[in-house]
Structure 1
Amino acid sequence: MKVLVTGASGFLGSHIVDACVRAGDEVRVLVREESDPSYLHTVPGVEFAYGDLRDATSLRRATDGIDAVHHSAARVTDRGTRAQFRDENVAGTERLMSAAQQAGVRRFVFISSPSALMGIRGGDQLDIDESEPFPARHLNLYSETKAAAERLVLAADRPDFTTVALRPRAVWGPRDHSGFMPRLIAKMMTGSLPDLSGGRPVYASLCYCENAADACVRAARVDGVGGRAYFVADEKPVEIWSMLALLADRFGGRRPTRQVPQGLLRALAFTADMVWKLPPLAKRSSPPLSRYTLALLTRSATYDTSAARRDLTPPLVDHEAGMAQLESWIDSIGGVGEFIRKVQ
């Protein structure tokens, strides 16, 4: 089929491009003029469409002649105002869907996130499945707007326009320079990451990049997935703080050992979130600590992925194999310093 990938110059988007090429698809990518398309230029046969989710004309050009859209582009940082998050994550998705429907696209695969289920007062979420409801109040603007966009996508499902949402958790692997793993490793290289576990295990489902991308390719092809959301993750969860200790050992960092009182952390995160609601700060920088970041490191979050294994594909790369590929890639680019350069 002929597919359009948005966010293709980013980490996960580039792996979706690879997976589509492996599947024999013709691939067009939507990239902004200011994006770095250097990796995409190494992928044979990729067609470039320059545009923006805010530009409806460019979206009509990008979707012309397309069979399926993989929508990976999103505002994913802690930086930004409510208007910016809604325009990019909600209105941008709506504009892209409208262009796709007008162009006769048959399948729309939306890259959502389990963060859409993170509530402001939530706690551990262990082995939850897709029946878990959205919270009444979301933890941050990213969570809120990903949930709103997912609702729009799934409500748009029609017999001639199949929509599906995938929720890959904590995507990691080669070519990631700004996600959770390089950010945490960067802190461990300077010894500035404290142990936030509170003395208890914190479990998390992660998703290796190729496992997420393979699920996208299947979601663009199989029947019976219309109007549905799917958790996508690696086969086994990890214990976050044990994993971080091993990463510190692998890459020469310092294990997190310094304890910080949980009450103090929550107070600091709440204060930072309130202060960073001010538009001048929100537009310019991310808060030094947020309730969202704190939740990712202190709340257990694991998912029942039996629906994705049944309807899409089981994860083909296990944690150790993925880690070996990540280490090999880090060596190939010049070592851990280059891996974390963009987040230091």
Structure 2
Amino acid sequence: MCPRNHYVITGGGGFLGAHLIAALQKNGDRTKCIVVDPNPRLSHFSAIDFDKSLVEYEKGSFLDRKVLERVLPNAITVFHLCAIGHTGWFGAQKHREYVYAFNVTGTKFLIEKCKFFGVPRFIYSSSIAVVFVGKPIYNCDESEPYPLKSEYLDIYSSSKAEAEAFVRSQSTIQFKTTCLRFRAIYGPQDVTVAEKVVQMVRKNLFMVKISRHGRESVSNMSSGENCGLALHLANQELSKKEGSHGEVSQILKVLNVHRFQVYFITDGETVGQYSVWSPLIKALGKTPPHHFVSCLLVSTFVSLSSYLCYKIFNSSPPMTRFELEVLITDNTYSIEKARRELGYCPEQNLFEKVNINSI
């Protein structure tokens, strides 16, 4: 039998995948990475340094059986970073069944194939969206139960929650799983969070602070560097014989089944959701917002613009319902479990690296 000798990163051709590979190498793990992505863009991220000779590209989808038959044999770990339907993708609400099939059914299919080929470790890139439903939450930890399905703000959130729950349920001694929940992944050359802010500032949509209670809400964020580090540490933990992929009860030990593991991963800093972008706003030649506007007024705009964009123009709206709620609602998350069990120690003050020249 050939020794297991590579990692597989689904959806790894973007910003998070580049940071994962960089973190692996920075921490001495030079295992070959096979990136499965229909449109790999790793070469676009010049600010993220890694040895490209250790990366192999499989241009295709993780939903393609033939692709998986090529990349999964002898894989050590699968990092599943791939999902669709977030950040205002115009098809998310219009094609809900497709989003569900991709995020949930696709994840189940991938796990089935991982088990078939004997892949021993599986790490799932999740989101705070699996617990956030527009209600204030403070220092939320992993004991927080999933909300009712009817409470989720969009199909992305509910499908990620269902997929995560399935991944968590599959953890065994032979197939160890871990889920990492990120919040607003950002950094130099980020084409999602930071670029969206830039677009909104240029469209003068950042002229006022949207508020529910007449003040700026607070939250946490997850830099690409810290996300990559957390993925590496999760893999290291799963590689241990007694790695923490679940605490074993006596009953479960008899059944050879471990309880699931999940971790919130942020920078560990509580930030004002407008103040944090002030340096970037100033770099764009604009004035950071000082005045507040009622969220009720903006909510009407979001509803109308979403309807017009989704139904008529087939485009992304300026702001989605989820983006509005997460912006105007206090939501903070505890990383103590990740600190304790993974040895996660995030680098801080990374917003200083995000400027207009790095987008």
Equivalence for 1:18: 22
Q: Paired residue for 2:228, among 199, 209, 213?
A: 213
Matched letter for residue 145 of structure 2: P
CA 165–33 in structure 1, closer or farther in 2 if over 3 Å, else same: closer
2:171–2:245 Cα contact (<8 Å) kept: no
Q: Paired residue for 1:127, among 131, 139, 149?
A: 139
Equivalence for 1:202: 217
Residues of 2 paired with 1:290 and 1:323: CA distance?
24
* TM-score for both structures, normalised by structure 1: 0.86
How high is the sequence identity, in percent, across the aligned residues?
Answer: 28
1:5–1:27 Cα contact (<8 Å) kept: no
**Cα distance, 1:32 vs structure 2:** 3.5
Helix, strand or coil: the match of 1:47? strand
Once the two structures are superposed, the pairs formed by residues 156-195 of structure 1 within 5 Å of their partners are 156-177=170-191, 179-193=192-206, 194-195=208-209
Matched letter for residue 125 of structure 1: I
Matched letter for residue 151 of structure 1: A
**Cα distance, 1:29 vs structure 2:** 2.8
**Cα distance, 1:129 vs structure 2:** 0.5
CA 78–192 in structure 1, closer or farther in 2 if over 3 Å, else same: closer
Equivalence for 2:158: 144
Equivalence for 2:255: none
1:83 aligned onto 2:97 = yes
1:2–1:25 Cα contact (<8 Å) kept: no
Equivalence for 1:29: 34
Once the two structures are superposed, the pairs formed by residues 223-242 of structure 1 within 5 Å of their partners are 223-226=243-246, 227-242=260-275
Moved more, 85-94 or 253-262: 253-262
2:217–2:273 Cα contact (<8 Å) kept: yes
1:55 aligned onto 2:64 = yes
Residues of 2 paired with 1:276 and 1:155: CA distance?
37
1:26–1:46 Cα contact (<8 Å) kept: no
Deviations 1:287-329 (A, max 9, x none): 333211101210111011100011113333112xx233334xx
Structure 2 stretches of 5 or more lacking a match?
238-242, 247-259
Matched letter for residue 140 of structure 2: I
Deviations 1:152-205 (A, max 9, x none): 10111111000110001111112312x222211332244332321342131111
CA 204–25 in structure 1, closer or farther in 2 if over 3 Å, else same: same
**Cα distance, 1:50 vs structure 2:** 2.7
Equivalence for 1:112: 126
2:30–2:54 Cα contact (<8 Å) kept: no
CA 144–275 in structure 1, closer or farther in 2 if over 3 Å, else same: farther
Deviations 1:3-59 (A, max 9, x none): 111121111111111112233232333334444342489622212223202212212
Equivalence for 1:342: none
Equivalence for 1:260: 293
Residues of 2 paired with 1:291 and 1:324: CA distance?
29
Equivalence for 1:287: 317
Residues of 2 paired with 1:159 and 1:274: CA distance?
47
Matched letter for residue 309 of structure 1: R
1:303 aligned onto 2:333 = yes
Superposition RMSD on alpha carbons, in Å?
2.3
1:190–1:253 Cα contact (<8 Å) kept: no
CA 69–10 in structure 1, closer or farther in 2 if over 3 Å, else same: same
Residues of 1 paired with 2:197 and 2:172: CA distance?
42
CA 84–35 in structure 1, closer or farther in 2 if over 3 Å, else same: farther
Residues of 2 paired with 1:188 and 1:254: CA distance?
10
Moved more, 103-112 or 88-97: 88-97
Helix, strand or coil: the match of 1:48? strand
CA 146–313 in structure 1, closer or farther in 2 if over 3 Å, else same: same
Helix, strand or coil: the match of 2:209? coil
Q: What is the total number of aligned residue pairs between the two structures?
A: 323
1:214–1:313 Cα contact (<8 Å) kept: no
**Cα distance, 1:100 vs structure 2:** 1.2
1:172–1:181 Cα contact (<8 Å) kept: yes
Helix, strand or coil: the match of 1:15? helix
2:295–2:328 Cα contact (<8 Å) kept: no
* TM-score for both structures, normalised by structure 2: 0.83
1:9–1:39 Cα contact (<8 Å) kept: no
Residues of 1 paired with 2:270 and 2:205: CA distance?
25
Q: Paired residue for 2:8, among 4, 9, 12?
A: 4
Matched letter for residue 280 of structure 2: L
CA 33–243 in structure 1, closer or farther in 2 if over 3 Å, else same: closer
CA 186–257 in structure 1, closer or farther in 2 if over 3 Å, else same: farther
2:72–2:114 Cα contact (<8 Å) kept: yes
Helix, strand or coil: the match of 2:173? coil
Structure 1 stretches of 5 or more lacking a match?
340-344
Matched letter for residue 255 of structure 1: P
Matched letter for residue 77 of structure 1: T
1:43 aligned onto 2:43 = no
